[in-house]
Structure 1
Amino acid sequence: MDTQSSLDGRADHLKYGEAQETPPLRNYLCLTMFTCFCPAWPINIVALVFSLLAQKSYDEEDYDGSKRLGRKALHLGIVSFVIGLVIVTAYTVVHFTTV
């Protein structure tokens, strides 16, 4: 395949759509770091690990793996937040309703 330059400086093989656009990184690192303050520690640590693995896969240009690991980090982060919210709510209710 001939890769001559076009007038605008791009190579012809890029002009015909052979090059893929880089998808955005979605590792949900801020969410998983926030959930580390929730009292559901085993789950939020696993979510943080999945988030860091998503970043590593993205850096290695494994975009499908990064997307899959980021989605797992998101789901575990949400679960961790909900469980932490339930624990804090239950503790608060028990604390203020006991004599």
Structure 2
Amino acid sequence: MSQSAPSSDFKRALDSSPEANSENDKTEEDVPMPKNYLWLAIVSCFCPAYPINIVALVFSIMSLNSYNDGDIEGSKRLGRNAKWVAFASIIIGLLIIAISCAVHFARKA
């Protein structure tokens, strides 16, 4: 009985085994998803600073799409932009609410 050499399919299966992958062989699938702050952008949409919170929502969705396209650095940058624009939208919205309440109650008294 003769033994034949292992086929190329067998070699490819061994090369893709988890033991064959080392720490230096990181792929895009191994990189964790950067934060896109979608939840914060959605919360900021309830504040009355509409042009600004829509921009935060767009940045957040662009960050998600950038990650799906494989652009990790672009996704991180757009996520940071979404976070800061959403914070600004919430602060401006709270200021608008406070000023409108102050004006409303000042006229009643």
| Alpha-carbon distance between aligned partners in 2 of 1:97 and 1:16, rounded to the nearest angstrom | 65
Which segment drifts farther, 78-87 or 17-26?
17-26
Counterpart contact for 1:54–1:65, Cα < 8 Å: yes
Unmatched 5+ stretches in structure 1: none
Deviation at 1:19, TM superposition (A): 1.1
Alignment size in residue pairs: 95
Matching residue of 1:40 = 49
Note the alpha carbon deviations across 1:13-52, whole angstroms, 9 max, x for none.
x214221431233111111011111111111001100000
Counterpart in the other structure of 2:26: 19
Residue 68 of structure 1: aligned partner? 77
CA displacement, residues 56-86 of structure 1 (integer Å, 9 cap, x when unaligned):
0111121110000000000000000000000
Alignment RMSD (CA, Å): 2.1
Asked whether the equivalents of residues 4 and 11 of structure 1 are also in contact (C-alpha less than 8 Å), the reply is no
* Structure 1 residue aligned with 2:95: 86
Corresponding residue SS for 1:98 = helix
The percentage of counterpart residues that share the same residue type is: 41
When Rg is computed on C-alpha atoms for both structures, the one with the higher figure is: 2
**Counterparts in 2 of 1:94 and 1:70: CA distance versus 1, 3 Å:** same
Structure 2, unmatched stretches of 5+, are 1-11
Q: Distance in 2 between matches of 1:4 and 1:29?
A: 39
User: Structure 1 residues 39, 10: closer, same or farther in 2, change over 3 A?
Assistant: same
Q: 1:16 to 1:36 in 2, by over 3 A?
A: closer
